[in-house]
Structure 1
């Protein structure tokens, strides 16, 4: 038998039927970001750090980072021939450790030091890095090095795991730089200390593992910040590090 329903009625019935269908619930739960690969920061120790970090650096290489601050950006090249320090810096940057820190020690005309904070939430053990000190890399203006503590209990010159510094320094005559370095400088290094400046007194004592390639003026801006008696800037200079390549 033929249907006598009009096309308009059929359309209305179809719409009503569709309206009666229960809507599927929409999930509002946030999607957790994938975990950052690499060693567990709370499991690193003096005895296993070098091996684990070397392997990490081979698996997840990069050679350049940008350090963002309220006073400008520092583009930093990391040296390939300092593998443990380089890999450690990349690991902590990618894990977000440095993003919870500030520049905590500023000495105008010498260096700006960062990597600490009163508000860090990411768990990280207190491990050290074996020194990777060599004559090729020196403390010219813009050099990136790793700090060291407990010198009287640290004859091996082991580096801190998270406290780093950028050299501001000052210009020095070849005679001054040679006397301060306590080692033989190449003619090219003496010229660099004379024309660009630096802190040769740190040569041979701390590991240099990178240098600023853009934004040297930002070091000067941070160094000019008012500081307290502990050299901590009166207004925090926060750090955000982006691994770019």
Structure 2
């Protein structure tokens, strides 16, 4: 009677001693039938000694026998079935050769619970391990797949003998099963094998997955592409942090053209008239110096459709405009996403452009603008704010509060003893004091009359 174990390192065919160890073999076969061992990890691999598996938790403390499993998962059963069963340790079956399959026998616990066999088993990786005789229960031998055992013996392990890269039983195939199913087993057989390792939620080990290749390398072109993408992402995050980008994954608009090498005399109306033959233009703006108003000899032209912008790009490249050969390219600026383009003095500082952005943020319906400041406006005077209010996250006193603080400080200074002494010593102050005293005297006199 045989079982095929398909592991991540190769296949193992195990012949079972069903005549000498019937209960152990029945327990093993019925657990295989329930896909109990599928995706179980070899959690204990010791070089030239053994490789242990069969614990769904991959900790060495889990697992149960088939009869305990049926009892715990059956709704009709009320009786208690022990987790372990009595091991079948026979003097005839010894751990002499490499590939001996044996049930791990748990010792009695300190609480008084009896030990025994459950679901955990191991395969020896070397000959002459007779010191395991009488301690663990042999129930089979590996007849095919000794090269798989050699690979298993050479895996790198950590301090707890857990392989650094997971080695798992991917699937179990029962080649022959002479035992009838115990009562209650049939309803528990799943329709499909599990696709997720039973210990996937355990935090006991963080290593390399059995389907990962830590030494895999990509072609040089792909590696360079990944490095460039990582560098671009890092730069975009930095620009977002310093405020140059509204958000890191912003993309430049595809319907905006960048035109440079313009003649300083070229106006917005001239460019709009020239480019309007390719489609509807939403905005056309020659960028000018903020102070002088002189043209900086480049402009942005926004079309209604991306196809119109592409046609203008191909047709207007190196065309003569006002005795200058212009250069046309797609805009890489993302300033449009902030609803502010440039410092065009003809519209005033901080004025919004009519760019046809619509709803959403940055011209995209699926984006929402996040607020970094208390007031997103650039000109606080237009929004009701006083001059000098920054509107940043930290608190800045308003103009009224600053005026009150200034008046309070001036009153404090006016009442200081040193200031009173100086004012009283001044001839001008003495004259004023005499006038005020005479005026008060006359008022009191008039009031008495």
Q: Shorter-normalised TM-score: what interval?
A: 0.5 to 0.7
Q: Measure the CA separation in 1 of the matches of 2:99 and 2:114.
A: 22
Between stretches 87-96 and 122-131, larger displacement belongs to 122-131
What secondary structure does 1:128 align onto?
Answer: coil
Residues 163-202 of structure 1: CA distance to partner in whole angstroms, max 9, x if unpaired?
Answer: 1000112xxxxxxxxxxxxxxxxxxxxxxxxxxx231000
2:123 is aligned to 166
Q: 1:86 to 1:157 in 2, by over 3 A?
A: farther
Q: What is the TM-score with the length of structure 1 in the denominator? A: 0.57
Are the equivalent residues in 1 in contact too, given 2:16–2:141 (CA < 8 A)? yes
Are the equivalent residues in 1 in contact too, given 2:86–2:117 (CA < 8 A)? no
Q: 1:157 to 1:203 in 2, by over 3 A?
A: farther
Q: Pick from 95, 98, 101 the counterpart of residue 139 of structure 1.
A: 95
Q: Pick from 153, 157, 160 the counterpart of residue 223 of structure 1.
A: 153
Q: 1:225 to 1:83 in 2, by over 3 A?
A: same
Does 2:119 correspond to 1:208?
no
2:337 is aligned to none
Q: Pick from 107, 127, 149 the counterpart of residue 150 of structure 1.
A: 107
Does 2:27 correspond to 1:95?
no
Residues 95-124 of structure 1: CA distance to partner in whole angstroms, max 9, x if unpaired?
Answer: 01100311110000100001124489x994
Unaligned runs of 5+ in 1: 1-62, 170-196
Q: What is the TM-score with the length of structure 2 in the denominator? A: 0.32
Q: Measure the CA separation in 2 of the matches of 1:94 and 1:209.
A: 18
What secondary structure does 1:228 align onto?
Answer: coil
Q: Measure the CA separation in 2 of the matches of 1:157 and 1:74.
A: 32
Does 2:37 correspond to 1:106?
no
By relative contact order (CA 8 Å, sep 6+), the higher-ranking structure is 1
Q: Measure the CA separation in 1 of the matches of 2:173 and 2:111.
A: 32
Note the C-alpha offset of 1:139: 0.6
Unaligned runs of 5+ in 2: 73-81, 177-449
Q: Number of residue pairs matched?
A: 155
Q: Measure the CA separation in 1 of the matches of 2:110 and 2:118.
A: 16
Q: What's the RMSD between the two structures over aligned residues?
A: 2.7
Q: 1:223 to 1:153 in 2, by over 3 A?
A: farther
Bigger radius of gyration, 1 or 2? 2
